[in-house]
Amino acid sequence: MRRLFANKWFIVVLITVLLVAIIILGAIPNSPVNKILTPVKAVANPIQRFVKSVGTTIDDYWAAITDGVAIREENVALKEEIARLEYEATKDDEAMIRYEELKDAFHIKDSFSDYDIFGASVLSREADEWFSVIRVGAGIDDGLILENTYSYAVVDNRTNLIGRVIETNSSESKILPLLHEGFSVNGKVNEVNGAVILVSGDAALKKQGLCLVTGIGEDVVIEVGDVIVTSGDGGLFPQGIPIGEIYSVDYSDSLHPIATLIPYASIDDLKDVFIMVPYNQDVATETPVTEETNE
């Protein structure tokens, strides 16, 4: 044992351990060791502060690590929530657009009080849908009973003419659009005693998105920009449905002047159509659908 205490390194280590133990115990509030350290506070205090500083630094470093991990996890969760909300908002926007379209269509009923208005979703979205038959999701089960002697006008949510129903089954109907070369309708310039003309689809014009206007009387003057609406002649279409505007006029043949018309309706983004069914369907049978009536 004497040899052990005679070893100067052992003594240094022992003293160091004792000092550290005393300093650590002295850091505890109300510790009795504080009284022992009072004479040597000038030496002990800096060491105590160093020990506390090291401990605080370690705690802060560990807290920073754990907080950083928590913040990253929270950010990931927030990003996922934001993505979900954006997706929901997109869906809500689309639903709101559809709602506004349908709400705008209510005025059709006010303008044409003698007609039932059937809303139907467009089913066919073909590249040349303006020029071919359009399928919609409403049919006989919805009350659209079609006979050979009459048809129904089809409009968009702004009451612009799209075409007419040509065939129905239990759940669907087929619409002949106004740009189709098989379509024609009696129209008139939208003014008092406006000139009556014939609007029809044309194979050469349909790719330009235009209709052919014929039946212009010798004393009739048609001008670019004239608004054309349905005349109501023939009983197939009610009077006053907007068709489009005169796009060009050709009087080179004075006996048979012609014009072109650009329709108001566009089905590029069309999702719903509105089919106009008269309360008294006999009204639609006054004049059969023939080449002579052109409706």
Task: Using the 3D structure, point to which of 104, 134, 151 is the last residue of a domain.
Answer: 104
Burial of 154 (0-12, 13-18, 19+ CB in 10 A): buried
pLDDT at 289: 37
| 176 domain-assigned | yes
pLDDT at 150: 74
pLDDT in tens, 175-221: 999 999 899 999 999 998 899 999 999 989 988 999 999 999 888 88
> Which tokens in the block code for residue 213?
């206007």
| 291 domain-assigned | no
d(CA 283, CA 236): 8
Structural domain containing residue 136: 108-285
> Which tokens in the block code for residue 29?
């509030």
| 16 domain-assigned | yes
> Which tokens in the block code for residue 66?
């754990």
Beta bridge partners of residue 285, listed in sequence order = none
d(CA 1, CA 7): 10
Q: Are residues 53 and 16 in the same domain?
A: yes
| 151 domain-assigned | yes
d(CA 231, CA 48): 102
| 295 domain-assigned | no
CATH number reported for the structural domain that contains residue 216 in this entry: 2.40.10.350
pLDDT at 240: 92
| 88 domain-assigned | yes
Q: Are residues 174 and 254 in the same domain?
A: yes
Q: Are residues 58 and 196 in the same domain?
A: no
Counted domains in the chain: 2
Q: How far apart are the first and last CA of the chain?
A: 126
Q: Are residues 143 and 236 in the same domain?
A: yes
What's at 60, amino acid-wise? D
pLDDT at 142: 85
Q: Are residues 16 and 95 in the same domain?
A: yes
pLDDT at 37: 55
Q: Are residues 100 and 118 in the same domain?
A: no
Q: What is the 3-state secondary structure (H, E, C) of the chain?
A: CHHHHHCHHHHHHHHHHHHHHHHHHHCCCCCCHHHHHHHHHHHHHHHHHHHHHHHHHHHHHHHHHHHHHHHHHHHHHHHHHHHHHHHHHHHHHHHHHHHHHHHHCHHHHHHCCCEEEEEEEECCCCCCCCCCCEEECCCHHHCCCCCCCCCCEEECCCCCEEEEEEEECCCCEEEEECCCCCCEEEEEECCCCCCEEEEECCCCCHHHCCEEEECCCCCCCCCCCCEEEECCCCCCCCCCCEEEEEEEEECCCCCCCEEEEEECCCCCCCCEEEEEEECCHHHHHCCCCCCCCCC
| 164 domain-assigned | yes
Q: Are residues 142 and 263 in the same domain?
A: yes
| 257 domain-assigned | yes
Task: Using the 3D structure, point to which of 50, 72, 104 is the last residue of a domain.
Answer: 104
Q: Are residues 276 and 140 in the same domain?
A: yes
pLDDT at 201: 93
Pairing of strands 173-177, 184-189: unpaired
| Torsion region of 272: left, alpha or beta (phi above 0 gives left; psi -120 to 50 gives alpha) | beta
d(CA 273, CA 3): 109
pLDDT at 129: 47
Q: Are residues 181 and 195 in the same domain?
A: yes
Q: Are residues 181 and 198 in the same domain?
A: yes
d(CA 154, CA 48): 91
Residues of the chain with pLDDT under 50: 4-5, 127, 129-130, 282-295
Q: Are residues 119 and 224 in the same domain?
A: yes
Q: Are residues 166 and 281 in the same domain?
A: yes
Task: Using the 3D structure, point to which of 58, 88, 104 is the last residue of a domain.
Answer: 104
